[in-house]
A = this chain, B = another copy of it.
Amino acid sequence: MAQSQRGAETRARILEAAALCFTRAGYDSSGVAAICDGAGVSKGAFYHHFPSKQAVFLALFDRWIDGLQHAIDATRIPGETVPQRLEAMAGVAQQVLQATEGQIPLFLEFWHRATKDPEVWQTLIEPYRRFRATFAGMVREGIAEGSVRPVDPDLAAHVLVSLGVGLVLQSALDPGDDIDHQAADQAIRLFLIGLTDGREQ
């Protein structure tokens, strides 16, 4: 632990600087030199801690996913109905995105590169499908307990994730500070009405 405290700090600084560069300029336009500069570190140090520029990018992605997963797990409060949990999730997702302060462009960067590079795709698609499966499971659960209309769970999950992705993407393009915060809640609420169709929750 204290073994390589200095090394760990340098590594963290590189990650931080890389996140900033990728967020501001994008992956392709961010040179390794610029990242090193931002981290106050030489190129040698960079390649000592990471085998490639892409490795830093993927490490950043893993860190991001871990945070998201952790936040989602926190909403697993038993004893509530599925619609209630979905509604709670809207607040959490929004809170996560706000906590990662301005890292939304980074999310777009992940998405973009995943469609170009197979390795990035592999890394992104796994948690992505896991999330979708989680939502589908919740919908299925809701149908079983009668709080949700009998819709295709996979389709509903697909729509739900689309909603989330779309909201994030829009705030990346055109950050409307006040709108964005309301939008997630409103979107989920509208969607929930469609799902429950006036049932008792």
Contact = CB atoms under 8 A, between A and B. Distances in A.
A4 to B, nearest CB: 35
A112 B115 CA distance: 12
B116 A172 contact: no
Contacts of A3: none
Contacts of A64: none
A108 B105 CA distance: 13
Given A25-B116, A193-B197, A169 B172 contact: no
B174 A125 contact: yes
Contact of A164 (B108, B125, B166, B186): B166
Interface string A92-129: 00000000000001001101101110000100110011
Q: How many residues of A sit at the interface, in one of the four size bands?
A: 35 or more
Given A162-B170, A169-B166, A173-B128, A151 B114 contact: no
Contacts of A25: 116
Nearest to A190: B194
Number of copies: 2
Given A114-B173, A166-B167, A190 B156 contact: yes
Given A194-B190, A194-B192, A166 B162 contact: yes
B174 A167 contact: no
Nearest to A193: B194
A155 interface: yes
A28 interface: yes
A26 interface: yes
A-B pairs, top 3 by smallest CB distance, nearest first, are A166-B166, A162-B166, A190-B194
Interface of A: 25-26, 28-29, 105, 108-109, 111-112, 114-116, 121, 124-125, 128-129, 151-152, 154-156, 158-159, 161-167, 169-170, 172-174, 176, 179, 182-183, 186-187, 189-195, 197-198
